[in-house]
Structure 1
């Protein structure tokens, strides 16, 4: 056998995480656009709202489909997951502000860059939170 069972499980977990992340990214990205363009809400406020909605959906899907070998999730894991999500929101907002207000990138493009950065953060931190 070329690949160990552990390698295959990690591969599946990462693939599942990316699929769930892709779905919740659509929620985040579409929410940002709708809130900013249709409801005329400032891009930073829209970004915070859409990110939070996506995190709620992401939490459920991660627990249900991605990190399913975690067993019953304890209070500590929930707190760590929530804490990592709040930190991810902060990182998202800092990136959005920096790329839009400092660098001058269109907010929808800045969201793509911000998402790439926050995705790496989220995978590492949520995996740690849910495996404890």
Structure 2
């Protein structure tokens, strides 16, 4: 049991990111599916909506539970939020481009393309969050 506690303690941040990154991915895929398959929106519009919703979900969960970032002033919070959104928009460009390539270029089903794309997006977002956004006190 002690080995498990040490492991969890040592990799708490990575484990937290995997959990909340996984949940963010689920939010992204579910919102995409709803707008694409249920509401009939164009897949790129559905993707943009899914990205916006998942960015907001990810910011609050990463800030509070993964990186445990404290921002004592609104100005610091706004800077952190702006950085987060800016970097997530970088990964959103990849997300949108890969969706277009997979769906229009390779004729892959939009829902399958969304799942494929998310594997790389999660890794990009971890690097951005860890090294550029939630870094104070480290």
Which band: TM-score by shorter chain? 0.7 to 0.9
Residues matched between the structures, number: 128
Correspondence for 1:96 among 77, 88, 99: 99
Q: In the alignment, what sits opposite 1:85? A: 88
Q: In the alignment, what sits opposite 2:35? A: 35
Q: In the alignment, what sits opposite 2:118? A: 115
Q: In the alignment, what sits opposite 2:134? A: 130
Name the CA shift for 1:72/1:43 in 2 (closer, same or farther; >3 Å). same
SS at match of 1:45: helix
Structure 2, unpaired ranges of 5+: none
CA contact (8 A) 2:17 2:66 kept: yes
Using structure 1 for the length normalisation, give the TM-score: 0.86
SS at match of 1:80: helix
Name the CA shift for 1:23/1:127 in 2 (closer, same or farther; >3 Å). same
CA contact (8 A) 1:43 1:107 kept: yes
Deviation at 1:100, TM superposition (A): 0.9
Runs of 4+ in structure 1 displaced over 2 angstroms?
7-10, 73-79
Correspondence for 1:105 among 77, 89, 108: 108
> C-alpha distance in 1, partners of 2:10/2:83?
21
CA contact (8 A) 1:52 1:89 kept: no
SS at match of 2:134: helix
Q: CA RMSD in A?
A: 2.1
> C-alpha distance in 2, partners of 1:10/1:115?
26
Structure 1, unpaired ranges of 5+: none
